[in-house]
């Protein structure tokens, strides 16, 4: 089956004007790649991914504001273990499970000694028993820790850490040492993507160990160093959960306020995963910024391409004049030009998808290099940008349609301007 005449003509014109075509394709590819890379990073930072598959119904209490006796804010701190315990024990309606974790910034990197005497650095987190209910880890071997036993401290490690220390994933029952404390490995889990903000670690230690062995100040009523992750039964329960937390804080202030210098602000409420991950920016503001940046990333290249198309149309005035002299309607010429730009946009869009994947791969390396202080390991691609998030055909199609619409508009306007020339004026442009 032969292609329509105007398609074959468009392709021939593209091949004839190779320099123009190449520049156009590169422009479209760069526009598409930056938009796609940006949107994919936003999705991967906010959508459900392993093991944080339920981000859409997760609330996070990450910071509390302390007020003095006059109600003036004086200090911002992370959540204390005491406050987290009271919220967990309150039996708030609409809550499926909760987990208190010590911030990775506080937990940091530990040097752990393997049985062969080699020391391995690893990012760690201190977690409670609810952690394994809130987050959906895939266990390669073993299971989550049981009841806290100070005489037999159990930890969970990633498959990468297990291979690094023991040469294989089969590390259940093995032990590593930290400061003379034997940490028995009770479970090995699939590696966590570094875009999983609340779970990114290689070793997960019991929170009780943090309090009893390493640090002794987390039990104070105000100052803390952790996050409280609240998994609601559904998003419809968010308001009830927030109201329940506010009620606990009110009772908390009533218990400690008379004897302490500060009290927790009544405005403190758990935020959605997205709001918590963007450092205090409201979800509405963040989405507005996203829309603005996406529009800029698409409109600016389209404007530049419009100038290039306009220049090309000026050079083809004579061609259009000859075609009009032989009876070609203006609509046919417009269709011809739009077909050319559609083909160029299509080719550029395909290259853009490839370039977007390359940009994300580069970003993964940057993120990996930023995790200084522990043994560097070549990470699999899906440890940074999981395939189930990256391959979003509907998102590709949406971005392509938007870029195509802008590009066709940027082509239509210049060609309509050129077609206003009379046949005689067009032919007189011949040099």
pLDDT tens sequence across 73-122: 888 888 988 899 999 999 999 999 999 998 765 447 888 999 889 999 89
Exposed/middle/buried for residue 71 (C-beta within 10 Å: 0-12, 13-18, 19+)? exposed
Please state whether 228 falls in left (phi above 0), alpha (psi between -120 and 50) or beta.
Answer: beta
| pLDDT (mean) for 183-192 | 95
Q: State residue 365's pLDDT score.
A: 65
Q: State residue 428's pLDDT score.
A: 60
Joined together, the tokens standing for residue 159 give 């498959």
Whether residue 221 contacts residue 253, with contact meaning beta carbons closer than 8 Å, is answered with no
Contacts of 148 (CB under 8 A, 6+ apart): 206, 208
Higher pLDDT, 44 or 339: 339
User: How many of the other CB atoms lie within 10 Å of CB of 323?
Assistant: 18
Whether residue 72 contacts residue 391, with contact meaning beta carbons closer than 8 Å, is answered with no
Question: What is residue 385's DSSP assignment?
Answer: S
Joined together, the tokens standing for residue 322 give 């000859």
Q: State residue 151's pLDDT score.
A: 87
| pLDDT (mean) for 139-168 | 93
User: Chain-centre distance of CA 103, in angstroms?
Assistant: 19
Determine phi and psi for 224, rounding to 5 degrees. -145, 180
User: Chain-centre distance of CA 387, in angstroms?
Assistant: 13
Whether residue 98 contacts residue 229, with contact meaning beta carbons closer than 8 Å, is answered with yes
pLDDT at 243 over 60: yes
Which among 318, 316, 314 has a CA at the least distance from the CA of 424? 318
Q: Give the containing element (helix H, strand E) for 187.
A: strand 181-189
Whether residue 64 contacts residue 245, with contact meaning beta carbons closer than 8 Å, is answered with no
Joined together, the tokens standing for residue 71 give 């109600």
Task: Determine what percent of the chain is predicted with pLDDT higher than 70.
Answer: 77
At 375-422, the pLDDT tens digits run: 544 444 445 555 555 667 777 788 888 888 888 887 777 777 766 665
Task: Determine what percent of the chain is predicted with pLDDT higher than 90.
Answer: 29
DSSP string, 131-166: HHHHS---EEEE----S--TTSEEEEEEHHHHHHHH
Domain ranges of the chain: 5-48+283-427, 56-277
Handedness of CA 163, 168, 173, 175 (dihedral sign): negative
Max CA-CA distance within the chain? Answer: 97
At 289-347, the pLDDT tens digits run: 777 877 777 777 777 777 777 777 776 766 766 766 766 676 677 777 788 888 888 88
User: Could you tell me whether strands 153-158 and 181-189 are parallel, antiparallel, or unpaired per DSSP bridges?
Assistant: parallel
Residue carrying structure tokens 């570094």:
194
Q: CB-side exposure of 379: number of CA atoms within 13 Å?
A: 27
Spatial distance between the Cα atoms of 413 and 367, rounded to a whole number of angstroms: 43
Spatial distance between the Cα atoms of 309 and 24, rounded to a whole number of angstroms: 9
Q: What angle do CA 101, 107, 111 make, to 5 degrees?
A: 135
Joined together, the tokens standing for residue 78 give 């992370």
Q: State residue 181's pLDDT score.
A: 87
C-alpha separations of 328 from 13, 253, 331, 342 in Å: 17, 82, 8, 21
Joined together, the tokens standing for residue 40 give 């994919």
């Amino acid at each position: 089956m032969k292609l329509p005449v105007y398609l074959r003509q468009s392709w021939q014109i593209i091949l004839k004007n190779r320099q123009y075509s190449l520049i156009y394709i590169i422009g479209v590819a760069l526009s598409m790649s930056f938009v796609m890379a940006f949107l994919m990073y936003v999705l991967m930072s906010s959508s459900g991914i392993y093991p944080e598959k339920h981000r859409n119904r997760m609330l996070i209490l990450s910071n509390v504001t302390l007020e003095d006796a006059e109600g003036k804010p004086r200090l911002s701190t992370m959540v204390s273990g005491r406050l987290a315990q009271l919220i967990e024990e309150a039996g708030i309606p609409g809550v499926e499970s909760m987990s208190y974790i010590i911030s990775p910034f506080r937990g940091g990197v530990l040097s752990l000694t393997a049985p062969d005497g080699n020391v391995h650095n690893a990012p760690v987190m201190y977690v409670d028993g609810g952690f394994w209910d809130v987050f959906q880890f895939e266990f390669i071997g073993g299971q989550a820790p049981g009841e806290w036993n100070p005489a037999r401290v159990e930890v969970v490690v990633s498959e990468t850490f297990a291979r690094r220390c023991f040469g294989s994933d089969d590390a259940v029952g093995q032990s590593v040492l930290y400061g003379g404390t034997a940490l028995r490995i009770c479970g090995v889990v699939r590696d966590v993507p570094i875009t999983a903000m609340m779970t990114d670690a290689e070793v997960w230690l019991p929170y009780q160990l943090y309090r009893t062995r390493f640090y002794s100040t987390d039990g104070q009523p105000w100052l803390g160093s952790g996050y409280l992750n609240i998994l609601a039964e559904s998003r419809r329960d968010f308001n009830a959960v927030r109201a329940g937390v506010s009620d606990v804080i009110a009772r908390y202030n009533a218990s400690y306020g008379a004897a302490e210098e500060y009290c927790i602000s009544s405005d403190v409420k758990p935020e959605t995963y997205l709001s918590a991950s963007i450092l205090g920016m409201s979800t509405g503001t963040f989405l507005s910024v996203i829309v603005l940046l996406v529009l800029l990333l698409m409109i600016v290249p389209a404007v530049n391409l419009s100038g290039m198309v306009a220049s090309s149309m000026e050079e083809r005035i004579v061609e259009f004049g000859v075609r009009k002299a032989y009876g070609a309607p203006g609509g046919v010429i417009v269709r011809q030009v739009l077909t050319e730009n559609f083909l160029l946009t299509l080719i550029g869009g395909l290259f853009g998808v490839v370039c977007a994947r390359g940009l994300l791969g580069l970003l993964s390396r940057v993120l990996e290099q930023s995790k200084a202080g522990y043994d560097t390991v070549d990470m699999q691609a899906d440890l940074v940008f999981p395939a189930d998030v990256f391959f979003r055909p509907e998102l590709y199609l949406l971005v392509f349609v938007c870029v195509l619409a802008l590009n066709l508009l940027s082509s239509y306007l210049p060609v309509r301007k050129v077609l206003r020339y009379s046949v005689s004026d067009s032919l007189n442009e011949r040099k």
